[in-house]
Structure 1
Amino acid sequence: MSEKISHDNIDDENRIDFIDFDALLGAVRRQWLVVAVCVACAALIGFAVATTSVPLYTASAKVLMDRDANQVVQQLSVIGGVMDDEASVLSQVELLQSETIGLAVVDKLDLSNDPQFMARQSSLFGSVVRFIKSVVSVSQWFSSGKDDSVAAEAKRRAALGRVVGNVDVSRVGRTYVLEIKYTSPSPELAARVANTIASEYLVDKLNSKYDATRRASVWLQDRIDELRRKAMETDLAVQKFKSANGLVTAGNSLVSDQQLSELNSAMIVAQSDSAKAEAKLDGIQKVISAGQSDAIVTDALDSSVVNELRKKYLASSKLESEISSRLGAQHIQAVRLRKEMDEYRRLMFEELGRIAESYKSDLAIAKARETSLQNSVSLATGVSAVANETQVQLRELEREAETYKNLYQTFLQRYQQAVQQQSFPVTDARVISSATAPDSPSQPRKLLVLAAFCFVGAGIGAGIGAFREFRDRFFRTGEQVRDILGLEFLGIAPLMNDGLRVVDNATESNPRSIRKATEVTNYVIDHPLSSFAETLRSAKIAADLGVSEKECKVIGIISTLPGEGKSTVSVNFAELLASQGSRVILIDADLRNPGATRAIGRHAQEGLLETLLEGKNPKDCFLYNARTGMAFLPAVVKHRVPHSSELLSSVAMRKLLSTLSASADYIIIDLPPLGPVVDARAMASRIDGFVYVAEWGKTARRVVRQTLETEPLIRQKCLGVILNKVDQEKMNLYRSYGSTEYYYSRYSEYYQEKT
């Protein structure tokens, strides 16, 4: 369960580190001063600009584009169409800012000869820009004089440039209102120019419409004359064609067509009458053939004879029924009545026969009339068909004549409208708000200018800070040592009066440097509870654990570059070990730049070279520290040693180490840096462990990583890394939550840097 919780915590931490807020905040803490300096410089520049700039005043006038006004050009268009509103508004904005309006304003106000308008603005930066332009335009110094007309035109164009450059036209929201703003050092001049721009815009609209209507009138007049002639010619052609083909019309149609229509109507009526008569005859013949005395026939009901006989028949039938029911069907009266009923039925059917004969006569008459009308229709149809074939050409001529007639009337009407518009033109725009002289300047807005410069300065400072962060390729924290080098971080060595430089410069002719060098080399003795001493104790533990199988441990102190303070670390490390009761021998093996010897063995006459080359007893060359008992074998270099690597890897060096190991617990060797020489590489096999010294904020991480990658033996034996010359105040800026540096303030309760 605990392993699962730990795994979840690691995942949460990785997710949080996806955006490293601690790194961002650390970068802000480190670079805030750069940003502040840039903001301060930008603020000073902005203040200078705001205070030296000439105050400018902006006056505004508003013009409304009336979309309900008549537009002559659209009325005269045959096809027509609606212009896109957005495009039309933007077109008017460009018109207000055009040279046409600008030149009209210049000429009306005579701005080219107005000294106030043509005066240059005398701001600090404007003067600088004009000076640069004047220096660049050297050709103007040698130009020949111009005549008056050219000079006047040049002044006019210069005035136009100022008018166009200082005017701003914008649309008010989504309305058809255009706001004209003009900026000038003079409030009265700004209002005057803004109002003149609006008025000249209206004048230009009127002039453009007048020119349009005038051109339209001329064009329409020519078209009207042509259409009048065409209309007369086509009308005359129609009349000639009718006369030539005998096409007589009554109203809007031919006489033959009217006759055919009337005959068709009469024939339809005759056919209806024939069908009606035939239906009557068929109906009465069915009644007669069936012998149905009770059948209803319409014409029989109208006959008085049939009605009288039917009444008698019904009376006899009623009486016969009563007698048969009382006296029997064979009674004499019943028999007599039945005979009367038969007589009455015979008489009715005779009357129906006479009616049927009349129906036959009516049917024959109707058929004869129908046949006559059919013959007349056939004759009229033939005449109309011949006329219709000719009428196809007639209708074509009539359509052409009607077209020219309509065009003539339309163009004549538009011509009258164009003439009226030309005599009294209207514009689709009007001024709804005139410009007045402003009371306060619109530019410069000092607070806005200052804020803008500060913002730009902050951006520049942030950019510089980001560049510095990007270029910061040095070791700053222990996490970087572990992550990049994969080695143990032993601790930090704080900056002590620029210790390495003091040691390097310590000479007999510089007593102050000698005193400082002594303070630095004896720092762990004088400050046993300091963080530096604790770092060296960590190095001792790493050496004891890493080289535990040997009684005498040979520890090499190395660095990548010269001047990283390895000699100071070597001396203090040896003194710390000696102060704890261990037998310690410090060897200065840097035969080309013996920093440790300059620091604590300045008066030595013999040392490592004499031991290796002349076979002297090393104990005769030792220098002893009176306070700790540490033995020091210096490197007295009286001349250049070109074969130093061979000396350090020689048999004599191996014997020397073997001899010294018998009488020491620790042998600390101050080796040359790995970067410039190969001495440490040559001696790597003789060393039990290495303590790597890297200068904080100065040694690039890349060079250290590459150096260790090329020296696998040294990397394998490396006990850890010490960051030297650490500026503790600056290091706080690189701390992240949970790191060693984050808790350094709490660790310091256990340290005592001063006695």
Structure 2
Amino acid sequence: MYRPDEAEKRRPSRPVHDQGVPVARGSLLDLLSPDLPEAGLGDEKPAVARPRDGGPSEASRRQVSAVVPTPPRRDSYFPGLNELGNIGIDDIVGWLREGLRWIVIAVMLCVAAALAYAMTATPRYSVYTDIVVDPSNLNVVSDDVFTSNPQRDAQLLEVESKLRILTSRNVLSRVIDQLRLSEDPEFVKPSVFGSLKSLFSTKAEQQAGKELAAMRALSERVEARREERSFVVVMKVWSEEAAKAVTLSNAIVAAFERELFQSAAESAGRVAQNLNARLDELRHNVTAAERAVEDFRRKNGLQSTNDGQLVSNQLSNELNTQVLDAQQRFIQAETRYRQMSDAIAQGRTASASEFESVNMTNLREQYNLLQQQIASMQRTYGERHPRLVNARSERTTLEGAMADEARRILDRAKADMDREQQAFAALRAKASDEKSNVFSDNEAQVQLRDLERDARAKAAIYETHLARAQQITERQQIDTTNVRVISRALPPNARSWPPRTLILLAGGVIFGLALGIGLALTLGLWRFLRARRPVAA
């Protein structure tokens, strides 16, 4: 408690100048406010003039005896302002002792408020789910629609993008539709004017409003962040019920996986749709190119074999082979005919080997046998024997028959030679004509190959696009997203907010103490500043 005599006792003595005028020693506020009157004086008093010999004069005695009114000071509202520097520990303890009731009241109020908040506050149960979001998709096909970037920065951007998808409206809308959160009072709070608004809105508008409210409430309850230097994403979900928080977390993860698959499927579907739209034009181009090839073949009479060779070239080659064979046969027939002609001219009909026939063989056998008989008769009967003469007459007849047979064979050989000569000439003429056709066909084949190359190129592009479109169409049915849940949400043991009642009560006590002490010190300081101090005589 403040004691007035303590301030007077602690107040220092006033020094006197050599002129005899007392000078007061104030606090720091006196130094900061030089325009204020002397500190420590309750009412301003005029200075008393003293004679040089030290005794007071008559005029001064009359001035002191008179009471002179002083003008009001500028610190009259806070008389104790100049005494702030003199506040001590005893003053503070006294203020706290006087404000003890306020401290107790503040502590009781804060504890009651903490207890009321603990009993009435809506509880929050938070669950956590760890998800590995691998930026590289599963390599199901070698040339997938989506390519993976091996750079780490690009992979982190991919993970951040998928992290944004985890808390996107598409994913949350799936959860709202699946769990019917628009009908859950935890997410759609009934408003005071809800019944009034329902009178002026349709059911569709009311349903849209509920879904929007559920979306806002759910988005506030879902948080996701990526762990440093990893691809692990931690998702936090809270709800007023522990089981519902787990259900929400599992539903969000399932909706996230479906959203990734649907996004990839829709992207692949757009590519397949564009390819299918392009396939009709490519098919038309391929058909037109192949039709142009066949029309050119028909117009120029170009026929190809199974190995792709033109029929005219193959026919020309065959004719050349036949011409060579005919020429060879003609040469053989001509040689034989000349040999027979020489043999007849030289009289070698009976011994020449060129004359070969069945009659010639029989005649030669008879001629040889008769020659043997004639030689035997010559040794036995002599040159003039009748039998020898008859034998020689038969030999002459056989020689004439062999000569006739030789001429007949010669005529046949000449006919063969003429026939081979005619066949050779005919084949050579035909080969010559076919050669001119081959030259014209080869010139046409140059244009034909150009048309065939164009047709093959268009067919290859068409086949590539067709195979790619079918592959991408099948790719839509395959989920290649590489997202794995490594830690599923578990029911929490305790609520995450508000804290436990004991902690709230302890916090209420601490806050009440701080508030009460601050209030007691404030009231004590106020009384100190407002209190007037007695002035020493």
TM-score (structure 1 length as normaliser)? 0.30
With the length of structure 2 as denominator, give the TM-score of the two structures: 0.40
Which one has more relative contact order, counting CA pairs under 8 Å at least 6 apart? 2
Larger radius of gyration between Structure 1 and Structure 2: 2
